[in-house]
Amino acid sequence: MRKMTKKNKIAAVAASAALVAVGGGAAYAYWSTTGSGNGSATASEGTSPVTINVTVDPGVAPGTPKTITYTATNPNSSKTPVTLADPVVTTSNAECLPKWFSATAPTGTTTVDGNAKATPLGTGTLTLNDSATDNQDACKNATITVTVASH
C-alpha cells in the first residue's frame, strides 16, 4: 500500500466533502403528491323524554281553585325547551265527570338544563266548577288526576 501524500490527503478530504454535499442535498429532496380523506360519525338516536311532574294542592271542593305546580326533570345532558299543552283531567269515579273540572297550565317555553331535576315550569289551577244543577257528591273522596304533555 502506498503512503498518502499531503496532496492525496487534501484530494481525499475534498472528494469526501463533495460526496457529503451531494448526499446532503438528496436528504432535502421530496416527492410532491395530492390526496384526500374523509371521516364520519353516527348521529345520536335522539333524546330521552323529559318528565313533567304535576302536583295539585289537596282538598279539591266545588268552586275552590287549587294550585297546580309543574316541574320538569331532564335526563339528557343537553338543555331541552319545554312548552306545556293544555292539561287533561280524569277521575277515579266514573260518576265524577271530568267536564266538571277546569285546569290550567303556564304558557310559554321554559329551557330545562341538562340533567336537571324538578326545574320549576310555573303554576296553574284546578277547579271543580260549582254546579247549581248537578249533584257533584260523586267527586267526594275521588282521585282527580291532572295530566299534561309538552310540545
Q: List, for residues 98-141, the tens digit of each pLDDT value.
A: 999 999 999 999 999 999 999 999 999 999 999 999 999 999 99
Residue 15 lies in a domain: no
Asked if pLDDT for residue 144 goes beyond 70, the answer is: yes
Residue 75 lies in a domain: yes
Residue 121 lies in a domain: yes
pTM: 0.70
- Pick from 20, 88, 27, 8: nearest CA to 52: 88
Residue 111 lies in a domain: yes
Residue 105 lies in a domain: yes
CA–CA separation, 55 and 143 (whole Å):
13
Structurally, the chain folds into a number of domains equal to 1
- Pick from 131, 35, 139: nearest CA to 94: 139
Q: How many CA atoms lie within 13 A of 116 on its CB side?
A: 19
Q: List, for residues 53-91, the tens digit of each pLDDT value.
A: 999 999 999 999 999 999 999 999 999 999 999 999 999
CA–CA separation, 21 and 19 (whole Å):
5
- Domain span holding position 103: 51-147
CA–CA separation, 71 and 55 (whole Å):
9
Q: Are 70 and 133 in contact (CB under 8 A)?
A: no
Residue 116 lies in a domain: yes
Asked if pLDDT for residue 46 goes beyond 70, the answer is: no
Residue 24 lies in a domain: no
Residue 117: CATH number of its domain: 2.60.40
Residue 131 lies in a domain: yes
DSSP bridge pairs for 127: 102
C-alpha cell of 110? Answer: 321554559
